[in-house]
Structure 1
Amino acid sequence: MSGRISTLGMHLLAVSQMQARQVELSKTQQQLATMRRVLVGRDDPIAAGVATALERARAEHERYGTNADLAETRLQLEETALVSLGDRLVRMREIAIQANNATHTADSRRALLAELREHRRALVALGNASDGQGRFLFAGTADGSAPFVETGGAVSYVGDQTRRQVEVAPEVTVVDSDPGSEIFMRVRTGDGQVAARAAAANTGTAVLRSTGFVDASQWDGGQYRIEFAGGNYQVLDAANTLVASGAYASGQAIVVRGYQVTLEGAPADGDRIDVGPAPARSLFETVDALIAAVQMADTPASTQAAQQNAFYAAIQDLDTASDHVVDLRSSVGARLATLEASEEERNAQIVSLKATLSELRDLDYAEATSRLARESAALEAARLSYMRIQSLSLFSMLR
């Protein structure tokens, strides 16, 4: 029995062929429009699965990049604030040296005081600096309100101590700013390790000229006092145990556990120099102490000595504060370097991921345009074939 194909069957076959050709052509056109070989997962399930994983990895790297950009902005703002802070500390040190000069008049001292008060106001403003996003840069995570407030002439820190860790690469985090308490409130005094200070009740004319280690290995971190009486001195520890003694001579160093203290002038009986670990205090207190020194009367001689000792302490404290700012800037610089290194690595990873993604799913343009031409020709041939089939009938065969 011979097979027969009905007219309806021929029509259905022709239509099916045209639809298949149209689907192929549409897919190729869509591939060319998107320049993607893999449009849906079924086009290449393995490639699509790998591409999805790579896209997630790329999105993660881009998230790291966003985090790094925000951290970099905040660190650059901190660096700018620290530069300004350092400049103001240097200027206040210059003022302390200028003020410790007997040739100053009342008017010139008032001018120095006005400048010092302006620097102090500027320090508060720096502490309350914005991060450019409506948050306070040095408030820790409590950055919705100003971290530094002034009440009754005293400045206090009301932010928190949190250091925000920002993830900028796999297993790499960076602190995006330091809390204001670390920058402004906990700053070592003296030379950073030891502070030698003249007692406020001293009545003699002895002034501090220099301090420093001659043998740091002897220093035990204890609290000591140098007391003067009858032209002699004695060094006592916190338990009133005699550590050293001798005849006092102006300009001659007194050594306390490897730390020498040099005085000039004549101490009165009962005068005292305290020597011990350098305490930490706020920069605002350091500036307040300098302002108080400038305001002191420079007569009589004992008051003048007290003023010079106050200037000595202020200058030393400002030097140590400047070192503190340098250390902070070094820390910020190291974090910025970490961001730069992570950016280079991240960009290299993103380039590699994009290249692999391109190999997996991007279109071979030359091959696709050639295929489009073939599929267009095949569709046209199917259309013409269908048109010929449509024109066929039994009567046309009989003619």
Structure 2
Amino acid sequence: MTVAIAPSEAAEPAEADAAPLAPAADAPAAADAHEDAATHADARELVARDARDFGAYARTGAWTFGLKVARSVRPGGQAAEGTPKVSAKEFAELAGCSAERVMRYYRAWDKAADDGLVPHFEALAPGRDVELPDADIWLTYYVPRSSATSARGTAITAAAEAEGIRPTKALEVAENPTALRAAILADPSTAQAARHALLDRLKEDPALQTELARDIARTDELKKAVAGETRAADRIEYVRKVAEDGQIRTPAGQTLDAPAALRAEAERHLSLIDELEDSEEAGEWAAEAYGTVKNLVVETVEADPELRVQERRTKFYSSLQKATKVFEELTLDDAVDFDDIYEDDMVQRLEELQQAITTCITALRKASPAGS
């Protein structure tokens, strides 16, 4: 019996053991599904972490990296013993960048700490998080180029701050003059900004004044333009003097009080010129205003008999003074040997001049009260 039962008893455990083997055939698929779910969850966590990091950077910008430097790099002069922090050089080696770049972040944090925006280095430990300022403030403290520490860079930084712009922009332009040239050549507004800047600099830079004047003198187009603008400026100044000072200058050189009507006309023309845009040419307006006022001056002189006589007297005396001065400058100091310089025309001209002077003297003597 025992022998007979044995197989039957042996068969039961075999069946019992066989029962759980049926689902065992799907065990690898279940394991893969579980692993896929775990992998998906890990990936989601990685995505979430990236999103959190992105959000932190969007809010704080480069302050995020400044914090990493500030809490991991020990201040200069501090011994390595007793602190888990490392030197800027070692941190740069671990980061795969230059120590100079690390130090730029270090100095930015240091400046911000002095202003009370962030904790000082001594209050930070590796891994510690702190509240960070807004991203926009970072560029107030961070100088991305080593050139900013030079005398030239310092001057550019100061000028940029005075203009209310970020020093980094000005430094970038200064380090790439070819790009600046391209922008000036291609863009009228950039050229205008450059022109205004040069004019401001000319006031305090005698060397630049000389160089620019030399460039103008050597360029025919610029010489003509300068002459035209100078003429226009002189004409406008003439009209302005009449309008604002109430004085006119006659063709003979007399300075007189301007009649009310003439002054009003000068003021009208001047207001039209003052209303011109910077881009508008003032040459034609200046010529018209000058011509109008000059004609009115002539009419004013001709309308007054006494003034007309005074104008003729002034004109004659002015011509006499000029002639006298020219003749006084005519010397024979260099004419040691007359044979070298003699020309028949010289004697003829002097004789004609002598005759003209004699005629003039005779006429003046007849016109004088004593002569009559």
- Coarse TM-score class (shorter-chain normalised): under 0.3
Highest RCO, 1 vs 2 (Cα 8 Å, sep ≥ 6) = 1
Bigger fraction of residues in strand: 1
Q: Using structure 1 for the length normalisation, give the TM-score.
A: 0.23
Q: Using structure 2 for the length normalisation, give the TM-score.
A: 0.25
Larger Rg: 2
